[in-house]
């Protein structure tokens, strides 16, 4: 059969059948969902990936210096040990790890790449989701799991003249490796976590580097270390891997005490480290003043770096703070608010993602034509950050208020799946065609979350971060211990749900 006929046959089979489960996204969230389904003898599912490759963040984000900022033995799937070469793995090793998971569990055969979801809509009479894919027949599913992740929709601010720039320009999420930055004049717009990794990586190689900082971030040392061959072999042994993960987990989990309950502890575990780090690495008073935040540490994402400050002090690097920000993008570069004309070869947008209001990039239409955008008009919300009334058989991985600022997000993903898998089984292994959280249960849960949030540094720390939605509410973070969330996700509450 030629390739055209193969594609046609595949399209027909996808359209004609009803899939028990469809997973949108193939990063760690999608991989964890798939493996957990298979462990419960649910092997008949389909994974959809909008890109032409699998793997999510660590296959997509290939900018210079990319690395994880959580210790690798914990920032990995609990069921899959790996002989990590260092405590904080670089992007290349993370990409290798995620490819290993995909191959080991046969996920490639269950995935259709280049399937960009444009819309999903619930069909009441059929009890299925219609998944509309760009340029392809619709796909039907009894259960839909969105695992596209919150950091998947890049944002580029609409600066005046942005589209007139004649040089190279790209977002960190889509680094152009065909562009040779060596010896060139670059600007990085943004100073968050991605920029903090890129700046030290490219500063020694470029002719000029202009860093545009809207507001500074607190930075603490990165306690990284290389692992020798013996340590790597031990990490590949499941009991050892589990013990190391446990030790790291409890060490990190204690930090939520500072973020929520005790500013004294926050000062001890973070603020003093950050102050000392800044004073030791930036002796210049003027530059140090520009790099000193005016908000409580932890209110925004804390950056771990030993190399950022030294890079910013290089002779070929210029830091532009808010007073000297972008007035206009010109055909040849940037005009600053203080009137400087910067001639540039490349602009790198390190301006983040739509991680709150736009955490799902496609329209979702639920029961009676109600849209998720309507339900989230005030702010994103969901029971356990996962289920939404009026949207039966739909589960959102890394949904509202499931982010964390002190430990591994993968722990939260795997906790969510304890709830999701129970719900999936109730649909696929019982007489119920639908499972849906009740409005009352969602409202109680959401009220509790935002009541608890009022005590956290993310709410009271005096900053405006991507943790907040346009409403001003903190909708990205979970306001408590992650083991508390896991306990809630493990205990399915029948009275909180409608089963039909």
Q: What per-residue confidence (pLDDT) applies to 237?
A: 95
Q: How confident is the model at residue 357 (pLDDT cuts 50, 70, 90)?
A: low
Find the angle CA(29)-CA(32)-CA(33) to the nearest 5 degrees: 85
Q: Do 443 and 389 contact (CB within 8 A), yes or no?
A: no
Q: In the numeric block, which tokens belong to residue 40?
A: 């419960």
List the strands of the sheet with 208-212, edge to edge. 168-171, 346-349, 185-189, 208-212, 317-320
- What would the pLDDT profile of 377-429 be if each residue is shown by its tens digit? 999 999 999 999 999 999 999 999 999 989 999 999 999 999 999 999 999 98
Quickly count helices (H) and strands (E) in the chain: 17, 20
- Mean model confidence pLDDT for the chain: 93
Q: How confident is the model at residue 15 (pLDDT cuts 50, 70, 90)?
A: low
Find the angle CA(435)-CA(439)-CA(442) to the nearest 5 degrees: 90
Q: How confident is the model at residue 13 (pLDDT cuts 50, 70, 90)?
A: low
Pairs from 328-332 (Cβ < 8 Å, separation ≥ 24): 328/159, 328/160, 328/161, 329/159, 329/160, 329/161, 329/162, 329/164, 329/165, 330/161, 330/164, 330/165, 331/161, 331/164, 331/165, 331/166, 332/165, 332/166, 332/167
CA dist 364 and 376 (Å) reads 11
For 119-228, where are the alpha helices, taking DSSP H only?
Answer: 193-202
Mean pLDDT of 322-342: 96
Q: Do 107 and 47 contact (CB within 8 A), yes or no?
A: yes
CA dist 94 and 72 (Å) reads 9
pLDDT at 191 over 90: yes
- Residue bearing tokens 């984000």: 61
Is 162-225+232-349 in the same CATH topology as 3-54+107-153+354-499? yes
- What would the pLDDT profile of 249-301 be if each residue is shown by its tens digit? 999 999 999 999 999 999 999 999 999 999 999 999 999 999 999 999 999 99
Q: So what CATH class is 162-225+232-349?
A: alpha beta
pLDDT at 7 over 70: no
pLDDT at 1 over 60: no
Percent of the chain with pLDDT over 70: 96
Q: Do 499 and 426 contact (CB within 8 A), yes or no?
A: yes
| Burial class of residue 414 (count of CB atoms within 10 Å of its CB; 0-12, 13-18, 19+) | buried
CA dist 421 and 36 (Å) reads 7
Q: What are phi and psi of 202, to 5 degrees?
A: -105, -15
Mean pLDDT of 68-72: 96
- How far does the chain reach from its first CA to its final CA, in angstroms? 43
- What would the pLDDT profile of 29-52 be if each residue is shown by its tens digit? 999 999 999 999 999 999 999 999
- What would the pLDDT profile of 79-116 be if each residue is shown by its tens digit? 999 999 999 999 999 999 999 999 999 999 999 999 99
SS3 helix, strand, coil % of the chain, rounded to 5?
35, 20, 45
pLDDT at 11 over 80: no
Closest CA to 44 of 25, 26, 18, 79: 18
Q: What per-residue confidence (pLDDT) applies to 276?
A: 97
Q: Positive or negative CA dihedral for 475, 480, 483, 487? A: negative
Domain parsing of the chain, residue ranges: 3-54+107-153+354-499, 162-225+232-349
Burial 73-82 (b: 16+ CB within 10 A, else e): bbbbbeebbb
Q: Taking the CA of residue 192 as centre, how many other CA atoms within 13 Å lie in the half-sphere pointing to its CB?
A: 14
Q: Positive or negative CA dihedral for 38, 40, 45, 46? A: negative
Instruction: Report the Cα 453 to chain-centroid distance in Å.
Output: 20
Mean pLDDT of 140-155: 86
Q: What per-residue confidence (pLDDT) applies to 5?
A: 36
pLDDT at 354 over 90: no
Q: Do 263 and 272 contact (CB within 8 A), yes or no?
A: no
CATH of region 3-54+107-153+354-499, choose from 3.90.1150.10, 3.30.70.1070, 3.50.50.60, 3.40.50.720: 3.50.50.60
pLDDT at 455 over 70: yes
Global pTM value = 0.93
Cα distances from 316 to residues 25, 190, 204, 205, 366, in angstroms, run 40, 18, 8, 10, 54
Q: In the numeric block, which tokens belong to residue 373?
A: 């955008």
Q: Do 4 and 12 contact (CB within 8 A), yes or no?
A: no
């Amino acid at each position: 059969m030629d390739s055209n006929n193969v594609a046609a046959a595949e399209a027909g089979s996808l359209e004609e059948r009803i899939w028990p489960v469809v997973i949108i996204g193939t990063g760690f969230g999608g991989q964890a969902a798939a493996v957990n389904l298979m462990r419960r003898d649910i092997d008949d599912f389909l994974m959809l990936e909008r890109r032409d490759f699998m793997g999510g963040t660590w296959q997509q984000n290939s900018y210079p210096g990319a690395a994880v900022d959580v210790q690798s033995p914990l920032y990995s799937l609990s069921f899959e040990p790996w002989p990590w070469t260092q405590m904080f793995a670089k992007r290349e090793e993370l990409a290798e790890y995620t490819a290993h998971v995909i191959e080991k569990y046969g996920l490639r055969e269950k995935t259709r790449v280049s399937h960009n979801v444009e819309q999903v809509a619930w069909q009441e009479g059929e009890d299925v989701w219609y998944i509309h894919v760009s340029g392809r027949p619709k796909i039907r599913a009894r259960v839909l799991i969105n695992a596209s992740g919150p950091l998947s929709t890049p944002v580029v601010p609409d600066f005046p003249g942005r589209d007139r720039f004649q040089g190279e320009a790209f977002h960190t999420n889509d680094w152009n490796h065909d562009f040779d930055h060596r010896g060139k004049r670059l600007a990085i717009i943004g100073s968050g976590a991605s920029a903090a990794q890129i700046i030290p990586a490219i500063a020694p190689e470029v002719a000029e580097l202009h860093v545009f900082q809207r507001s500074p971030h607190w930075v603490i040392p990165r306690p990284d270390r290389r692992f020798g061959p013996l340590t790597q072999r031990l990490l590949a042994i499941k009991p050892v891997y589990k013990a190391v993960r446990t030790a790291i987990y409890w060490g990190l989990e204690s930090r939520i005490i500072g973020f929520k309950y005790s500013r004294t502890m926050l000062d001890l575990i973070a603020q003093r480290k950050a102050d000392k780090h800044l004073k030791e690495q930036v002796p210049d008073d003027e530059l140090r003043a520009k790099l000193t935040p005016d908000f409580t540490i932890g209110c925004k994402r804390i950056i771990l770096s030993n190399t950022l400050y030294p890079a910013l002090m290089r002779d070929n690097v210029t830091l532009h703070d808010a007073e000297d920000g972008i007035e206009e993008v010109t055909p040849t570069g940037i005009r600053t608010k203080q009137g400087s004309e910067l001639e540039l070869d490349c602009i790198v947008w390190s301006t983040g993602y739509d991680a709150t209001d736009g955490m799902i990039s496609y329209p979702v239409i639920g029961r009676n034509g109600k849209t998720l955008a309507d339900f989230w008009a005030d702010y994103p919300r969901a029971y356990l950050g996962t289920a939404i009334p009026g949207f039966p058989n739909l589960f959102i991985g890394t949904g509202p208020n499931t982010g964390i600022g002190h430990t591994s997000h993968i722990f939260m993903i795997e906790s969510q799946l304890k709830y999701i898998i129970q719900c999936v089984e109730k649909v696929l292994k019982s007489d119920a065609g639908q499972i849906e959280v009740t409005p009352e249960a969602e409202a109680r849960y959401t009220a509790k979350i935002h009541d608890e949030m009022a005590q956290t540094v993310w709410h009271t720390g005096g900053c405006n971060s991507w943790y907040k939605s346009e409403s001003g509410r903190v909708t990205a973070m979970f306001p408590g211990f992650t083991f508390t969330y896991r306990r809630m996700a493990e205990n399915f509450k029948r009275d909180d749900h409608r089963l039909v």
